[in-house]
Amino acid sequence: MSKTLFEKIAARELPAQIVYEDDRVIAFRDIKPVAPVHVLIVPKKPIPRISEAAPQDEALLSHLLSKAAEVAGTLGLNNSGYRLVINNGPDGGETVPHLHCHIIGGRHMGWPPG
Residue range of the domain that includes 97: 5-105
Q: Flag whether 113 is in a domain.
A: no
Taking alpha carbons only, the member of 36, 26, 19 closest to residue 83 is 36
Q: What is the pLDDT of residues 28-52, one digit of tens each?
A: 999 999 999 999 999 999 999 999 9
pLDDT band of 109, cuts 50, 70, 90: very high
pLDDT band of 6, cuts 50, 70, 90: very high
42: left (phi over 0), alpha (psi -120 to 50) or beta: beta
Q: Flag whether 81 is in a domain.
A: yes
pLDDT above 90: percentage of residues in the chain? 96
Q: Flag whether 110 is in a domain.
A: no
Residues designated catalytic = 100
Instruction: Answer yes or no: is pLDDT of 114 > 70.
Output: no
Taking alpha carbons only, the member of 67, 63, 66, 61 closest to residue 49 is 61
Number of domains within the chain? 1
The pLDDT of residue 16: 97
The pLDDT of residue 102: 98
The structure's pTM equals 0.94
Q: Flag whether 75 is in a domain.
A: yes
Average pLDDT for 7-11: 96
CATH of the domain at 40: 3.30.428.10
The pLDDT of residue 113: 81
Q: Flag whether 10 is in a domain.
A: yes
